[in-house]
């Protein structure tokens, strides 16, 4: 949480005080024997405050909906309810952060070959796992404009649409919300049919750059539509540092993964392929 530091001053102005006021003031000094001194933040604990907190603290808190839609919460199988899944995403987080930090990557697209491969599920749970790392700031943007699902999957209300933010209809601070101290979200509540036109316009690059400049996150994750069904990834690739490919172990075909790798090759870095469901 954002905390405002206030200095404590002991040298109060005595001009205009009566003798009785002086006596009371002297009595207070004698009774306490303590002088109040302004101390710089973090000097007593040795822990410096993250300067990014000032801006993150301005973001509106996301409105949680878990209690209102428990069936949806269970159906989506959010990892916080499943210890095994938490451990799996924490392991993925470790490998992901090693790659991001060692190669200086920041903007990561998360996409799958086809619909139903679990891209949003993986993106949400990886983002939640990253937010538990002390000092790590992550932003997750729902750029699957045709079928946005981050808000429902993570269990918060989407009060606006990403296209309104991307086109400048609403400001960054009106749109992006804070899920917790380490995770901010850019959400959509409704679909936009002509998503490719917007993504091809170049507005995404400007909006993401503005957001990155203000929030200074360690990682920006972009949840994208299926690679082999739409050309949205092609529009975004010039503006990301890497791609995390999500595959379904029960349905994704090897040829689809190979085709995705071909489309990504020489245009961005393929960080790896995540198997969302293991074959039984």
Domains of the chain: 53-275 (3.40.50.300)
Residues near 224 by beta carbon (within 8 Å), at least 6 away in sequence: 109, 110, 111, 119, 143, 144, 232, 233, 236
Closest CA to 145 of 239, 79, 59, 233: 233
Looking at residue 278, what is its pLDDT? 54
pLDDT (tens digit, 9 = 90+) per residue, 154-194? 999 998 899 999 988 998 889 999 999 999 999 999 998 88
Looking at residue 46, what is its pLDDT? 55
pLDDT in tens, the chain (280 residues): 333 332 323 333 233 334 444 444 444 444 444 444 444 445 445 557 888 999 999 999 999 885 544 455 455 555 445 677 788 999 999 999 999 999 999 999 999 999 999 999 999 999 999 999 999 999 999 999 999 999 999 999 998 899 999 988 998 889 999 999 999 999 999 998 888 888 888 788 888 899 999 999 999 999 999 999 999 998 899 999 999 999 998 999 999 999 999 999 989 999 999 998 754 3
Residues near 193 by beta carbon (within 8 Å), at least 6 away in sequence: 146
pLDDT (tens digit, 9 = 90+) per residue, 77-87? 554 456 777 88
| Helix and strand element counts for the chain (H, E) | 12, 8
d(C-alpha 278, C-alpha 272), whole Å? 16
């Amino acid at each position: 949480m954002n905390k405002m530091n206030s200095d404590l001053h002991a040298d109060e102005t005595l001009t205009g005080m009566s003798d009785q006021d002086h006596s009371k003031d002297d009595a207070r000094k004698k009774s306490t024997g303590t002088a109040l001194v302004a101390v710089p933040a973090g000097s007593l604990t040795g822990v410096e405050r993250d300067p990014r907190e000032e801006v993150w603290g301005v973001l509106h808190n996301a409105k949680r909906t878990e209690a209102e839609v428990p069936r949806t919460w269970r159906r989506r199988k959010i990892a916080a309810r499943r210890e095994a899944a938490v451990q799996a995403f924490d392991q993925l987080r470790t490998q992901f952060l090693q790659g991001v930090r060692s190669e200086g990557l920041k903007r990561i697209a998360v996409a799958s070959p086809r619909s139903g491969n679990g891209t949003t599920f993986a993106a949400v749970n990886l983002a939640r796992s990253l937010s538990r790392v002390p000092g790590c700031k992550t932003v997750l943007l729902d750029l699957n404009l045709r079928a946005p699902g981050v808000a429902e999957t993570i269990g918060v209300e989407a009060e606006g649409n990403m296209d309104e933010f991307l086109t400048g209809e609403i400001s960054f601070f009106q749109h992006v919300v804070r899920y917790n101290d380490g995770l901010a979200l850019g959400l959509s509540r409704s679909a936009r049919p002509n998503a490719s036109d917007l993504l091809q316009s170049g507005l995404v690059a400007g909006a993401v750059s503005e957001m990155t400049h203000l929030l200074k996150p360690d990682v920006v994750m972009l949840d994208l539509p299926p690679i082999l069904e739409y050309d949205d990834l092609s529009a975004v690739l010039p503006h990301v540092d890497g791609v995390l490919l999500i595959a379904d172990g029960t349905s994704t075909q090897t040829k689809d993964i190979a085709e995705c790798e071909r489309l990504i090759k020489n245009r961005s870095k393929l960080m790896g392929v995540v198997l969302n469901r293991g074959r039984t």
